Structure 1
Amino acid sequence: MPMFKFRNGTSILALTAAFAASGAVAQEAGDGDRRLKTVTVTATKTEESAQDVASAVQAVDEESLDELRIGNFDDYVKQLPSVNFGGRGPGQSTVYIRGMAVQPITVLLSGAQGTVPNVALYVDEQPVTAPGRNLDVYATDLERIEVLPGPQGTLFGASSQAGTVRLITNKPETDGFDFGADTSVSFTEEGEMSTGLEGFINVPVIEDKLALRGSFYSIQRGGYIDNVPGTFTTDPSVNPDSTATPDAISYETATNNTLAESDFNDSSYEGFRIGAKYIINDDWDALVQYQRQDLTANGVFDYDPEVGDLEVERFFPDELEDEFERMAWTVEGRISMLDVVYTGSFLDRNIDQKVDYTGYNNSGAFISYYTCTYSNPDYIVNYGLDPNTTAVTPEGRRCLNPVKGAIIDQKQKRNTHEFRFSTPEENRFRVTAGVFYDDFELETVDNYHYFAYFNGADLGFAPNAPISDAVQIDSSTRAPTVAFFNDIRRTEEQIAFFGEATYDLIPDTLSATIGARAYDIESDFEGSSNFADGIFQGSTNTDRGRDYDESGGHTDEPLTTDGSVFKATLSWTPNQDMLFYGTWSQGFRPGGWNRGGGLESVNPEFPNVETTWDTDDVENYELGWKTFLLDGNLQFNGNIYFIEWTDMQVSRFDPQNVSILTFVENAADSEIFGIEADAAWAPTDNLTLFGAVSYNDTELTAVNARVVEIAPIGSELPLVPELQFAGRARYQWEVGDYDAFAQGGIQYAGESFSSLVEAVREQQDSYTTADASIGVMKDEWTAELFVDNLTDERAELFINEQDDIPRITTNRPRTLGLRVSYDY
């Protein structure tokens, strides 16, 4: 993304609110000329100028990241008109590009049942995508961020169906010592104070041979949502279809007085990265990096408008601890005329989360079975039955504490390797090809606590333990409050061969590229989902549940997905300032296993859920242009695209009719017609303007769902406004010995829908936000005052019912801050 400098080194534009074009770094200025120059990117796995890449590339360089104070996941997406997200706070968001969106599955189930995202997230060369929980890497000491819209299946494979986001870190440099630090403090209106401290150091150990680089960060973000005192009482009229509702004479009321707290949704990012680079000889070098991050978040980041502005009522602690460590290594060099790269990585991620689940009383089946005493004499005697007459005593017909909470323990491990080679860029015929291997394992233990059992209450259920013959992650018998749990291991092993070849039909003018990727993926799903059993007197059944090696059509054999995707591009460069291209490309996303598949639906009128769901596929047709105009003062890029998306993977929870387990179905086909455009203009030496627009006309063209009740044909896809645009201006001038600057930006997003599923489909209002900053620079120092969300807009980013109570994820309220940085 563009950040422009002139020959004197003065920074004129940070990344604008669009983030969305090929980034520019500098200038060729001479005799008053102001020529913008683009960033070097590796979008095609070879280094080249972003303006020379015959595909859409949105890149932002290091200085632009710094000037716009981009830190976490929400900060990236805020700057991208062509990118949207559905999520509920740090570590819990899913990215969507070019309108290819389906509402995300709740994080309560993303490990056990979530689909693979259709936008791939990379850190350097390593994929870090995960079901329902993208790795939320804090953006410190980055060289750039690259966003590659549209299918990237040939070079980046599965999950690059709608696009790819790459975080490119700064590497150790052997030619000089460098360090820098940045500290900030900010105050959110009616919220808590936030602070940040980050820095880096680069040390050449052996000049031109060996260097070390380290970076660190400690970011504390204050809360702004209040958990207000409230009560909750189960109401049968809200959930009338709940199975076996008793004729209760009383319903216990829960209170949250001990949890009530103002500004309870604080979060923190703590982490570091260290790396070593060794220059073996003139042709070969090696790089090793280690990174660790601890993300902590309390409370929730969506509010309940029925309770109040930025207010909720929560009855169980909401806490998240998301830790990862990543080791990566790269060796690159030359063999004869070939550039050769081997890169590998290992990722270890641990997630511990607590989520209030009390709202499940409003939608779940069997609520009364697990929380209320019964009047059926076949049930065990402690249900308040008179043992002599089997009559129901008044005190026995009660619904107890309705509070419910999920405690999730999830572990992810990923090991990747890639070997590739490239022929020289100056050749008329050029090839990049390689092989990729990915081994991913996810283990999740999700315990659902029903506090009707709390303080010794005995509803007569047998101890809940994993099915004895099933694969077990945690073999222990659960606490008495655990009425249901998932104990599941998911694995995915992939090998792929890929390549792209380019031939200059007319040297320096007309080129043709073809690409292909052949893949083989094995997905396994094992373990069990377990239900507390209390059906008859004396029951000791601890094997009530589903064994995913044998029940409902599941087997101990993995699901195998193989196939190929292709790409073809024709590019025309009439002169050094213009590039036009046309692309046809394909993308895919692998299928998976349904926990509740292969069994009869609760309501016989509904079809049964399939044991597995299939891949969904994309074909993309695109025309694009990249231009420098007005002697290089104006950069204008854009593209027009048409996308066909078939067999879309849609998740659904329908316990009343289908299954008490969330399931996934290939439910629909859709088409997307879109336009993206951006422009950067430096009308004077002091002023730079930037604007970007994204238009997406999305439409369901077929509804293939057998079970999921989704919006009708002709409906828009969710989470994607038809129109989004952004603009930013930066002005810089001299004040004595100081360089002063001021910048302001505006972002607009039109109306959108929250979900594709008809029962929970809500309209999300349009919104406009604005930011501003002013500051001074002198030598190595910079000081800046900034205001984010200048008008204190409540943007409806994501309306969800994932906890069975409608809530709205919104942006942070108006925030005023000060930042001071030093760069040696």
Structure 2
Amino acid sequence: MASRQRAIFPNSWALRSSLALTAIVCASPNVEAREAARLDIAASDLPQAIAELARQAGVSIGSNTSLPAIRTQRIRGTIGVAEALRRLLGPAGLVARQVGSTAWRIERSAQAVRPSPTPPPTPSALAPEVQAPPIVVTAAKQEQSLASAPFAVAVVVPDERSGGLAQAVLGSTWLASNVEGLALTGLGPGRNRMFVRGVADSPFNGASQSTVAILLDEARLTYAAPDPDVRLVDVERVELLKGPQGSLYGTGALGGIYQIRTRRPDLDSASFAAETGAENVWHGGLGGSASAVVNLPLRRDRMALRVLGYGAVEPGWIDTGDRRDANETRLWGARATLRTALGDAWLADATGFVQFLNSRDTQYVYAPTERARPAQLPEPHDNDLRHAALRVERRGGQIGIHLTSAMTWHDVADKLDATVGAQGFGLPDPGRLNDARSYRVWDNEARLDGQWGGMRWLAGAAYLDATQSRDLLLNARASTATISLGTEKRNSSDAALFGQMSMPLGQGLEATVGGRLFRSSTELTRAGRASAGLDDRRRTNVTPSASLSWQPRDGRLFFVRYGSAFRQGGLGAGSAQPMVLEGDELRTIEAGWREMLGSRGQFDLGGYFSDWDHLQSDALGTDGLVGTVDAGRARIVGAEASVDFRPVVGWRLQAGAIFQSALLIRNDLGIELDDRRLPVVPRYTVRGSLSHDWMLGPIPFSAQADARYLGPARLSFDPVLDRRAGNLLETRLFLGARLGRLALGVVTSNPLGLEANTFALGNPLRVIASRQYIPQKPRSIALSVRLLEFP
């Protein structure tokens, strides 16, 4: 086979990236002056028109009031920002005031704000709710209002949905309880795999590329690693883009995109916010968390730094022998972003981010409803993430330019008790299996977008290089003897050109077509006890997408979309000559209805059908080690609905449900299957949340009740490991109050003290010999105190 030699030097990444981006910026022509920019803003709803004006003129436009979804007229020509805002806002009774050289704030006009002839309300009266600003989605690589986005996406704002939980404990598990279609394995923080809409290949952390890409501000964090459980501190929103996204994000994005959008530095004003919390688990340990955020303008309107830090101790509740609450988790993280306004509508953001997570032990037991197990060796877990990114963009003029380069270093280490299940490896008295994995991801993209007539378009080029290595080492229990159970190194690269165009067809119809031409290559070297393998493969292909949407009126959207994605194959498990596996191919067609209910909320309804061929699955061998197999062909059919509704002032109802059938319709495993369901994902999930805000004298109070029911799920295709999970109810209660700039909260999780089995795997070496159960976290109570951002 053909071979290549290539090295990526971390110390040269920043130099290469900064030189390339600097050259592009310096070579770009100046944009028209903001006082008279060349604008071409298509007729649309007001929120979308404002977002497009901000993009084309390179300014920031905020609002202290609601923006009605009224239709706007087209604006075209060399027009000042003030005049464009006057034309857009006048019919709505709104005006814009300039608050900085590049910043504007929308307010109600003096004529629209008339004194009320009625007496002022008493201090105990609750003020009417103000409609939230329109939600702008960016996961599809173009800013677009949620009301007109022709694809399935969930947007979660942690500040609105946290229910009193401290930000340092909010992660992907919490987010999964607030959206439809997102499922995780239950191994514990830093160990879980993430799946969207039933696209689940295995519960085991093998070598296969993840089916969900995790991004931080458009830069890829993971490629084949487990979910790092990034905590949602100082996060503006999380966007979950559902369905295959190969046309925009390349190989591996079979299930969807999980994108974290952080708050950007404020160039104009300094601010500070902090939070602390404490938690007590019934029959468990004590924990706590803290976080702080500082925004510092270094040069007004030109440069600002936003820095944050956080830490948490998450209490354990599993006793192992005489070690009480052994599964405690500790983590800390920090992030810093330096924003520089380079002039002529150019912005540069340099970001550094780290998170270090350590769990003292695993959280499985050997009997249902138990929270204790016999004495065995500790099984600690480490998950260390380091990330650096440089982003330069120009938002003014006819064409927007977006340049991103990012590098991620991710190290994951597990130690498993091998006193049971490892006797066949030839080491007398085996003690512990050390599983060390290292991941490196270098992600680069250059993208242009804009409007041409009434059409919106984007075009770009991308290059990604991902390296992963794994070492398995078995140690003796009573001596220094060791034996290697295998090493593996995989280098994957993806070079691509991509584009997308949206064309209005009249009468509220719009067609969108897109595609990605990619060249993917993978080099895999494996050395094991009894076998070795070398694989070097390349593939050139196109992953298309298309959608048709209809907006019969403002705030109502119907759409149909087709999407596809590809995942590169690898080496199969087993013999001295491992099988070379074909790459996964997944195609989905979906339909949706999105109804914006003005200040009352929104409603979403969708259905999907997916065809998944050459499903690569990480399977457990008879020796207790994980290898990859081609499971065959799967079909996934599902429907989901969600509603966010405010029936009256002070009350809010949020609910959702998903029902799906994910089945293997062609079995290539070589074993007879009585149950053809795909692993991990529950057959259905139903959630609901009811919150109420009220005034008691001068003090605002809040209360919230959350519940989610997860239906039946299974562990694995293998009949020997066909362990059941799911059928569990999760509940949470919250009460909070606000005293000036302090927000106080108390949260009770699992107040009913339920003891269902959430997952059926903890240690793959032992799982064949004895059943394993991961119980629900016991009843807990958490307190939080938040100092809201000021001034």
**TM-score bracket for this pair, using the shorter chain length:** 0.7 to 0.9
Matched residue SS, 1:179 = strand
Q: How does 1:107-118 map to 2 (within 5 A)?
A: 107=205, 110=206, 114-118=207-211
2:164 and 2:745 in contact (8 A); partners too? no
* CA apart distance, 1:282: 3.4
* CA apart distance, 1:129: 2.1
* Shift in alpha-carbon separation, 1:203–1:634, aligned structure 2, 3 A: closer
2:513 and 2:546 in contact (8 A); partners too? yes
Q: How does 1:271-310 map to 2 (within 5 A)?
A: 271-305=333-367, 309-310=370-371
In structure 1, C-alpha distance between the alignment counterparts of 2:748 and 2:741, rounded to whole Å: 23
In structure 1, C-alpha distance between the alignment counterparts of 2:155 and 2:475, rounded to whole Å: 45
Equivalent residue, structure 1, for 2:58: none
* Shift in alpha-carbon separation, 1:219–1:87, aligned structure 2, 3 A: same
Indicate the structure (1 or 2) with the bigger Cα radius of gyration: 1
Q: Paired residue for 2:566, among 563, 588, 608? A: 588
* CA apart distance, 1:65: 5.0
Amino acid at match of 1:654: G
Q: Percent identity?
A: 21
* Shift in alpha-carbon separation, 1:749–1:287, aligned structure 2, 3 A: same
* CA apart distance, 1:547: 4.3
Amino acid at match of 2:421: Y
* CA apart distance, 1:8: 8.2
2:370 and 2:775 in contact (8 A); partners too? no
1:41-95 Cα shifts (integer Å, max 9, x gaps): 2022111222221111101124225445361232222323321112411111111
Q: Paired residue for 1:704, among 660, 668, 677? A: 668
Amino acid at match of 1:410: R
Equivalent residue, structure 1, for 2:764: 802
* Shift in alpha-carbon separation, 1:226–1:516, aligned structure 2, 3 A: same
Equivalent residue, structure 2, for 1:812: 777
Matched residue SS, 2:551 = strand
In structure 2, C-alpha distance between the alignment counterparts of 1:697 and 1:153, rounded to whole Å: 23
* CA apart distance, 1:332: 0.3
In structure 1, C-alpha distance between the alignment counterparts of 2:219 and 2:775, rounded to whole Å: 31
1:561 and 1:591 in contact (8 A); partners too? no
Amino acid at match of 1:57: V
Amino acid at match of 1:325: R
* CA apart distance, 1:138: 1.6
Matched residue SS, 1:359 = coil
* CA apart distance, 1:27: 13
* Shift in alpha-carbon separation, 1:297–1:688, aligned structure 2, 3 A: same
In structure 1, C-alpha distance between the alignment counterparts of 2:697 and 2:440, rounded to whole Å: 55
2:623 counterpart of 1:653: no
2:92 counterpart of 1:128: no
Equivalent residue, structure 1, for 2:725: 764
Amino acid at match of 2:748: V
* CA apart distance, 1:359: 2.8
Q: Paired residue for 2:592, among 607, 624, 628? A: 624
Equivalent residue, structure 2, for 1:695: 659
2:471 counterpart of 1:445: yes
* Shift in alpha-carbon separation, 1:27–1:92, aligned structure 2, 3 A: farther
In structure 1, C-alpha distance between the alignment counterparts of 2:492 and 2:655, rounded to whole Å: 41
Equivalent residue, structure 2, for 1:49: 145
In structure 2, C-alpha distance between the alignment counterparts of 1:547 and 1:702, rounded to whole Å: 29
* CA apart distance, 1:132: 4.9
Q: How does 1:188-207 map to 2 (within 5 A)?
A: 188-207=281-300
* Shift in alpha-carbon separation, 1:634–1:414, aligned structure 2, 3 A: closer
* CA apart distance, 1:589: 1.7
In structure 1, C-alpha distance between the alignment counterparts of 2:620 and 2:491, rounded to whole Å: 23
* Shift in alpha-carbon separation, 1:370–1:334, aligned structure 2, 3 A: closer
2:410 counterpart of 1:349: yes
In structure 1, C-alpha distance between the alignment counterparts of 2:185 and 2:672, rounded to whole Å: 18
In structure 2, C-alpha distance between the alignment counterparts of 1:443 and 1:96, rounded to whole Å: 23
* Shift in alpha-carbon separation, 1:334–1:217, aligned structure 2, 3 A: closer
Equivalent residue, structure 1, for 2:199: 100
2:175 counterpart of 1:76: yes
Matched residue SS, 2:259 = strand
Matched residue SS, 2:139 = coil
**4+ residue runs over 6 A deviation:** 6-9, 26-34
* Shift in alpha-carbon separation, 1:199–1:587, aligned structure 2, 3 A: same
Equivalent residue, structure 1, for 2:629: 665
1:637-680 Cα shifts (integer Å, max 9, x gaps): 11111111111112223337xxx864322222121221111111
Equivalent residue, structure 2, for 1:16: none
Matched residue SS, 1:63 = helix
* Shift in alpha-carbon separation, 1:59–1:278, aligned structure 2, 3 A: same
* CA apart distance, 1:301: 2.0
- Of 484-493 and 811-820, more deviation after overlay is shown by 484-493
1:373-429 Cα shifts (integer Å, max 9, x gaps): xxxxxxxxxxxxxxxxxxxxxxxxxxxx4x4311233322221110010013x8412
* Shift in alpha-carbon separation, 1:207–1:710, aligned structure 2, 3 A: farther
Amino acid at match of 1:481: A
Equivalent residue, structure 1, for 2:159: 63
Equivalent residue, structure 1, for 2:314: 221
In structure 2, C-alpha distance between the alignment counterparts of 1:138 and 1:634, rounded to whole Å: 27
In structure 2, C-alpha distance between the alignment counterparts of 1:222 and 1:621, rounded to whole Å: 43
Matched residue SS, 1:262 = coil
2:280 counterpart of 1:187: yes
Q: Count matched residues.
A: 665
* CA apart distance, 1:351: 2.9
* Shift in alpha-carbon separation, 1:98–1:594, aligned structure 2, 3 A: same
Equivalent residue, structure 1, for 2:244: 151
2:547 counterpart of 1:569: yes
Q: How does 1:169-180 map to 2 (within 5 A)?
A: 169-180=262-273
In structure 1, C-alpha distance between the alignment counterparts of 2:462 and 2:746, rounded to whole Å: 46
Equivalent residue, structure 1, for 2:492: 492
Q: Paired residue for 1:415, among 412, 420, 442? A: 442
Equivalent residue, structure 2, for 1:319: 380
Amino acid at match of 1:524: E
* Shift in alpha-carbon separation, 1:280–1:117, aligned structure 2, 3 A: same
Structure 1: gaps of 5 or more residues: 1-5, 10-25, 229-259, 372-400, 456-479, 531-544, 549-553, 600-608
2:750 counterpart of 1:782: no
| TM-score, with structure 2 as normaliser | 0.80
In structure 2, C-alpha distance between the alignment counterparts of 1:351 and 1:81, rounded to whole Å: 28
Q: How does 1:205-604 map to 2 (within 5 A)?
A: 205-228=298-321, 260-305=322-367, 309-313=370-374, 315-333=376-394, 337-361=398-422, 366=424, 369-371=426-428, 401=429, 403-424=430-451, 427-451=453-477, 454-455=478-479, 480-506=480-506, 509-526=508-525, 528-530=527-529, 545-548=530-533, 554=534, 558-594=536-572, 596-599=574-577
In structure 1, C-alpha distance between the alignment counterparts of 2:375 and 2:129, rounded to whole Å: 60
Structure 2: gaps of 5 or more residues: 1-62, 67-105, 117-127
2:608 counterpart of 1:675: no
2:163 and 2:704 in contact (8 A); partners too? no
Q: How does 1:723-742 map to 2 (within 5 A)?
A: 723-742=684-703
